[in-house]
A and B are shown apart, each in its own frame.
Chain A
């Protein structure tokens, strides 16, 4: 079995699904001849041709809006938006149509499409290239939102997303695109959408996170090993959320800390905290705490490390929870 980086796992998933199902097509800016600015679609146009791996004109609204029509006419488009910050150019098509078409047409015209986009900060990129806007899409009914944090999950979740008959926003944490390798099966497999992943089992505090922050959180689990037993959960599927795993864990530990790089107010941490309060209130020994990006615009990279939750901030928050 090969050891793949996350970006290679994405490429493998696209390649295998396009082989298996001729209705799967890829479209986006610079994804064909150039193989994508992160090389996610490297080699695909060579293999499948320019009709199925489409270099589009420069328009996010166009990429997403035409994907709606392609889906209506029997294709399964996988649209790439070059950076998460440019999703806003196609936002109208996403929330006005992609999310609504199944409802609007009573199921006659579902939207079996994937919108995949490099997501999140930490690579010293310009403005609009480091954001975490998942909450906008989690808040929109009719969409699914997934964020893998490992190569294994990336391939399995992307295959699930492509096969899903509902629209999936697939965020790829660009900070960890190439930062580590993992054994990824050669053959096709799926990771189910709607299920979180318990990375480490523990008894004292439930630590909930997703995306690139799973890496520092794993280090925090190790750093605090003598002090406390942490249950680290990669939420992975932000919409729909895996209530069963999340609530089950908090009922066991009695304490919860949510860590996300997105801005604090109305981030998905707020939704998770609300659900924990509703369903596990009597299990709680401390309020649900959050370590998040600030309610400011994501800074340019000189201040990036002060914005994105650091190991120190996460550790301080866990101790705050334990001391309550």
Chain B
């Protein structure tokens, strides 16, 4: 795994790791160290928009500009989705503001034949993957048709129960192994997921079978109201990889360049059959958990402001500007284009037809059993149809 210079990031005061693990039994018996490890933190583009040129990933300038534009669109989409909910035009929505870099970077590193497995906050990844954003609105707006599941997209639908989707990712990868496919799977989850049993089961299984899975844990510092420091006593989430015999790395999740580089390398490693990686992406959830949450009840505005300074979009804009690839005129033009695109997305969302009552029934099984047909008839009758 390539590393750039180490940077201290916003972390509580860390204990100094012991130089040599102390023997657990004080005696004169000889011991040998059976395990030791370390976790590296990687950053290329810092919050001031400065980047180590030598460490930049293999991306053309035009591509980087396009990624910037995608991130701004997703950010604007997020803001509008929130407004739609507040206006009663959509129900509960999980915003992804602040997490655009790691999501966009991870999805970009995927090949079309790779698979993507999400939780429910990966709008940036979906956008790069080619999922129409109006599908996101359709889903949160109460229509399963928003679950965009054309098979060739190789993207699994939104998974609500925390961490459970990680096993699905592992199963997809295990099928790849059985079928001899040389692709990889990326599996998203959050810091909260690492306490769930299925997180541990998934990483253990991926390790035991040496499966091509890249676990991207977006540590956005909160699981609803529980801060990261109370979720686990582990110094880092990345180090949990050691427990399962897989590789672990911590990356600045607000740094598009480092995120892309780390994700790419992990996916390439997976495709080569060299096993799984746990990437802990350190980022921040700028908005509330969902539109029904009020984060001001459990965190300070000072904290939010301090993370706004580390905004992934802001630092990339600074870098692009310094590289003479961006300016205010371009920004204004982009804002207009994004506004128009969002308007079109919302229009497509609100033009979607009301689902048919039969939709509740027709996808329960491949063939409708008699008792369901009776119930469908009764439901239609009750609705005056």
Contact = CB atoms under 8 A, between A and B. Distances in A.
Contacts of B178: 25, 51-52, 70, 75
Interface string B359-375: 00001111001111000
B167 interface: yes
B149 A108 contact: yes
A142 B365 contact: yes
A96 B164 contact: yes
Contacts of A241: 371
A301 interface: no
A185 interface: no
Contacts of B208: 57
A59 B201 contact: yes
A106 B363 contact: yes
Nearest to A142: B364
Interface in A34-82: 51-52, 56-57, 59, 61-62, 64-75
B335 interface: no
A52 B178 CA distance: 7
B169 interface: yes
Given A70-B175, A74-B175, A74-B179, A103 B164 contact: no
Given A51-B177, A108-B149, A142-B364, A72 B371 contact: no
Contact of A57 (B149, B169, B205): B205
A101 B165 CA distance: 12
A1 B116 CA distance: 49
Q: Using C-beta atoms within 8 Å of the partner chain, give the interface range for chain B.
A: 35 or more
A104 interface: yes
A243 B168 contact: no
B371 A93 contact: no
Interface stretch (B56-64, B151-159, B215-223): B151-159
A141 interface: yes
Interface residues of A, number: 45
Given A52-B178, A73-B176, A106-B145, A68 B370 contact: no
Contacts of B44: none
Interface in A93-112: 93, 96-97, 101-110
Nearest to B200: A59
A65 B156 contact: no
Interface string A153-191: 000000000001110000000000000000000000000
Given A62-B167, A108-B149, A166 B172 contact: no
B167 A106 contact: no
A141 B364 contact: yes
B291 interface: no
Contact of A66 (B144, B159, B205, B366): B205
Nearest to A57: B208
B366 A68 contact: no
Given A97-B159, A104-B144, A194-B369, A65 B363 contact: no
Contacts of A62: 167, 170, 198, 201-202, 204-205
B149 A65 contact: no
Given A61-B197, A65-B202, A106-B144, A73 B150 contact: no
Given A68-B171, A73-B175, A97 B164 contact: yes
B146 to A, nearest CB: 10
A86 B201 CA distance: 16
Contacts of A52: 178
B115 interface: yes
Given A59-B201, A61-B201, A106-B363, A69 B149 contact: no
Given A61-B167, A61-B198, A92 B161 contact: yes
A109 B149 contact: yes
Interface string B114-131: 010100000000000000
B370 A69 contact: no
Q: Which of A68, A73, A244 has the most CB of B within 10 A?
A: A73
A223 B179 CA distance: 56
Interface string B316-327: 000000000000
Interface in B342-371: 363-366, 369-371
Given A96-B161, A102-B365, A104-B147, A72 B370 contact: no
A240 interface: yes
B355 to A, nearest CB: 10
B370 A65 contact: no
B201 A105 contact: no
B61 to A, nearest CB: 37
A243 B172 CA distance: 38
B74 interface: no
A282 to B, nearest CB: 19
Nearest to A69: B171
Contacts of A75: 175, 178-179
Contacts of B45: none
A65 B168 contact: yes
Contact of B168 (A56, A97, A108): A97
A267 B165 CA distance: 31
Nearest to B207: A57
A66 B174 contact: yes
Contact of A166 (B164, B168, B179, B365): B365
Contacts of A64: 167
B201 A69 contact: no
Contacts of B197: 61
B232 to A, nearest CB: 20
22 contacts: A57-B201, A57-B208, A62-B201, A62-B204, A65-B198, A65-B201, A66-B170, A68-B168, A68-B171, A69-B174, A70-B172, A70-B174, A73-B172, A93-B167, A93-B198, A96-B164, A105-B147, A108-B151, A109-B149, A109-B157, A240-B371, A240-B372
Interface of A: 25, 51-52, 56-57, 59, 61-62, 64-75, 92-93, 96-97, 101-110, 141-142, 144, 164-166, 194, 240-241, 243-244
Interface of B: 115, 117, 144-145, 147, 149-151, 156-157, 159-161, 164, 166-179, 197-198, 201-202, 204-205, 208, 363-366, 369-372
Given A57-B204, A69-B167, A144-B365, 5 more contacts: A51-B178, A69-B170, A74-B175, A97-B164, A166-B365
